[in-house]
Chains A and B, each alone.
Chain A
Amino acid sequence: MKSVFRKTRIAPILLLLSVLYLFHSCDPINTDKPPVLVDSLGTSISSVEFASYKDACLVIVRTNESWTATASANWISLSANSGKGNTAFLIGSNENQEFKREGKVTINTGKKSKEIKIVQDGTSRMVLNILGINIALRKIEGGVFTMSGSDNISYYGVAHQVTLSDFYIMETEVTNQLWKTVMKTLPYDTIPEFTGHSQHLKPFQAVSATNWNDVNGKFLTAFNQITAKTFKLPTEAQWEYAACGGKYYQGKKYAGSDKLDDVAWYYSNSGGEKHDVGDKNPNELGLYDMSGNVSEWCSDWYDQNFGFPIQNNTLIVPANQNDPIGPSTGTKKVVRGGSYVSELMFSTDCNVKDRRSIKPNGYDMYEGNPRVFFMCKNTGFRLVVTQ
């Protein structure tokens, strides 16, 4: 009886223990949670592209740790630079009035680090103050275009595909004022025969009578020292793309219009004089005087076929050229755009596809004559910069 009693008291306890054991061993999945990763760090984004104006984005930091965030540049601002655990905060950028720029935000826990790449687009119109003179530059978004080959005029050169990167180009031609500020003298000051041509000396007129060597050597050296940037003469491809209106090209004959009077100073409307830059209508990109006023130097050596090879009497035109810089050698430099002496009836100088060339020392067919008549008296320039 005693033993029976003992059995009956132990049995329920054993039963309860066995049920608990079974319950625990059969279904542990529903009762346990995953182990916590103590060194986890993640962010909702790994890179951001901001527009050139003031911009911002919200980033989520996923971690179980304390974290810190630091920005690599002072144009990047953070709404939080430290925290604990999962946190969302803002990354902001100031308005960018210069070139495209890059920075990063670094997020650190004790053991891990993550970087968020920040890229901010460059401004579409940049104004530089150079020794008291404001110079406006327009951003030209690169793209693919068909260079030359218009109107079946042979000296325009063969049509070919070119791909260009983004660049900035001066809104207007370089003026007498800018040249004199940088070089201290005007080009005409050293030409004795120039006496009596004071109509070309006005400060806001485009500078002219500047030969390629002087522009590329003396002026650019001084200008780049002042600006601490790397300005250059445009390549022929950059010049044509910009004159045509870049990606907004509508097939216009001149830079911004089919009517030359709208956009250019040329023989019939110039009165035989250069004019202040920017007085005519701009083209699709906001660039003035790409047709007329003064023709403009490019950096390329001139070749009627752009330096493309000829095999078995056949011109080999490449399928595409990326940022071409023209032939490696030559005797003349490319000049584009026509000028205030271009005659609409007899020439196509002001056409955006027209190509001319002058020796880099500025003398050409008029060599030997009084220098005031040398061809580049109608030739000026504008500059480009990429970064």
Chain B
Amino acid sequence: MNNFDLNRERAVALFLFAVLAISPPLLAIFSQEGRLFGIPILYLYLFSVWALVVLMIALNAFSPPAEGKRGGLFSRRRGAEDPEP
């Protein structure tokens, strides 16, 4: 499996995770009056998840080549830009 497919699948997984993380059932769990480190729990939770997602996007970001096939078999890597570190 080449990097592009892997990154794509990771992106889908991350998307599903993010959708789940901000879905009402989970929000309901964190929607409490209490505070953690002096910060409302829901507020802290959402920003933490958000920061995590942004971090994961950054780790997962890289460009597929500008030309080439998507078939997965052919010349995908030819002319690939350098992936982001």
Do the two shown chains form a genuine complex with each other?
A: no
